[in-house]
Chains A and B, each alone.
Chain A
Amino acid sequence: ETGVTQTPRHLVMGMTNKKSLKCEQHLGHNAMYWYKQSAKKPLELMFVYNFKEQTENNSVPSRFSPECPNSSHLFLHLHTLQPEDSALYLCASSQASGTSGAWEQYFGPGTRLTVT
């Protein structure tokens, strides 16, 4: 397996469900990201982890809970979501240099989430 992988690719969940999205990178990177991509809107950064430490939380509602057990794995735990949370959730990774992530990012294929 190479690059950045995400599972599941598609997810339909009710507003009372709890589910998790998984991301794994095989690039040896130390920074990992969660983005939300909605139709006709720019990519929205949600969370960033650098060497397993969360460095960014872009005012994301608490119904989204990230977890980074090591530099290769990233999870996004979901609970009591709203229909407006339906979107494509993208994971990415990049090199990291100290406190800077000014490197190109490598994205997974995304999880298409539908909240009913």
Chain B
Amino acid sequence: GESVGLHLPTLSVQEGDNSIINCAYSNSASDYFFWYKQESGKGPQFIIDIRSNMDKRQGQRVTVLLNKTVKHLSLQIAATQPGDSAVYFCAAPRRGFKTIFGAGTRLFVKA
């Protein structure tokens, strides 16, 4: 079946470095892709989205890159801070109201 998955279950970076979290998807039909952040004890929080007709979108300290040729997207976090420690999910909406979520990458930020 269709899937949205992240490449690494965990990622450890030094504070101040840039983080790159990767995600692959199997179905090209999505018009959007979303990134969510889930901190411990909280629900997922929407970070940023990207339309399928875009290659890049920038937010505040975050950049999403979409490569439709290889069905891959990434979330880049600049100057990673301790507050960025969380689980990050990529997600793709499907027909109707379904959204397929990846399993998540846990980001650890070392001081």
Contact = CB atoms under 8 A, between A and B. Distances in A.
Interface of A: 4, 31, 33, 40-43, 45, 48, 50, 55-56, 58, 90, 92, 96, 99-110
B59 to A, nearest CB: 13
A73 B34 CA distance: 25
A110 to B, nearest CB: 5
Interface residues of B, number: 23
Interface of B: 4, 9, 31-32, 34, 41-46, 49, 89, 93, 96-104
Given A56-B96, A100-B96, A101-B98, 9 more contacts: A40-B103, A42-B103, A43-B44, A48-B96, A48-B98, A55-B96, A101-B93, A101-B99, A108-B43
10 contacts: A41-B103, A42-B102, A55-B96, A100-B96, A101-B99, A102-B31, A104-B34, A104-B49, A107-B43, A110-B42
B43 A90 contact: yes
Contacts of B42: 109-110
Given A90-B43, A102-B31, A107-B44, A43 B97 contact: no
Contacts of A108: 43
B97 A101 contact: yes
Given A104-B34, A104-B46, A105-B99, A42 B104 contact: yes
A40 B103 CA distance: 7
A45 B42 CA distance: 18
Nearest to A49: B97
Contacts of B32: 102
Nearest to B43: A107
Contacts of B45: 107
